[in-house]
Chains A and B, each alone.
Chain A
C-alpha cells in the first residue's frame, strides 16, 4: 500500500519557531499556533467526529506544546512527526474519555437526513457521509485512515504518530477500509459515491 500523497517533511517553517517557543517567546508561539490550529482541528474532527471534543483536544495539544517545546529534539525526528504524535495522543485519550456517551451521538449522526447537494459542495457532501459512516469505526482505525488518505503519510510516519508498529498500522488501514466499505454499501452509497 503506497501513500496517496507525498508528505514533505524536509522543510518545516514551523520548526524554525520551536526554539523560540522553547525559550518562552509568546509571539513565536502564537505564530506557530496560527500555522497548526486549522489542520489540527480538521484532523481532530475527523478522528473524534465531534466538533467540541476536537476543539478541546487542539487547545490541550497547543497548551502542551507551549509547556514542552523545550523537549523537541530535531536530531530525533521532524517537528511535524513530534507534533502529530503529541496531537494524536491527546485526540485518542480524548476519544477514550468521551466514548461513554459517544454511541448515541454517532447513531444520531448516521440517522440524520443528509444535507442535499444544493446546500453543500459535492466533496463536502461525500465527506460528511463518510464521516457519518466512519463514526462506527474504532478511533485508531479512523485516525490511520485520516492520516493516510488526508495527510498523505507513509506507514512509518503513521506508526510514529500512533505509537504502533508499521504492521499494526497496515492492519488498521485494511480493517478500517473494509469496515467502512461495508458500511457505505449498507447506507446505499453506491449511488452517490460514484456520481
Chain B
C-alpha cells in the first residue's frame, strides 16, 4: 500500500520534472541570436551541392589519370626521355652530323657574330 502510494508519487514527480518547461529566457535569446547569425552565412545551397561537386571532380581526375597512364607505349607515355635515347643506336648518325655541321657556326663565323 505504501509502496503503491510511493509509485504513484514517483510517477507524479517524474511528470512534473519532465513537463517543467521553464527555461532561461536569456539562453533562448542567445540561441536565437546564434541561429540568426548562422542563417546569414552565404552558400547554404552551395554547401548542399559541395559533396556532389567534389565527387564529380574526383571522378574526372581519375578518368584523366587512367587515360594518361594506363596504356603503355602510347604517345603520352612515350613522350618521356628514355625512348628518345634508346632510338639513337640504330639511327642515322651521318644525317645528324650533317645537320650539326650545317647549323653550327665555325670559329671564324662566331667572330663575325
The chain A residues found within 8 Å of chain B, CB to CB, are 4, 22-24, 26, 29-30, 33-34, 37-39, 41-42, 45-46, 51, 54-55, 58-59, 62-63, 66-67, 70, 123-124, 126-127, 129-131, 134, 145-146, 148-151, 177, 180-181, 184-185, 189-190, 193-194
Contact = CB atoms under 8 A, between A and B. Distances in A.
A62 B14 contact: no
Given A24-B45, A55-B30, A62 B35 contact: yes
Contacts of A39: 21
Contact of A123 (B11, B20, B36, B39): B20
A30 B36 CA distance: 6
B48 A190 contact: no
A146 to B, nearest CB: 5
- Choose among A23, A38, A51, A67 the residue with the greatest number of B CB atoms under 10 Å from its CB: A38
B14 A41 contact: no
The size class of the interface chain B forms with chain A is: 20 to 34
A117 B14 CA distance: 18
Interface stretch (B2-10, B88-96, B98-106): B2-10
B23 interface: yes
B44 interface: yes
A38 B31 CA distance: 9
A124 B20 contact: yes
Contact of A41 (B6, B31, B34): B31
Contacts of B39: 26, 29-30, 66
A41 B36 CA distance: 17
B40 interface: yes
Nearest to B15: A149
11 contacts: A30-B35, A30-B36, A34-B32, A37-B28, A37-B31, A37-B35, A55-B31, A63-B34, A148-B18, A149-B15, A180-B10
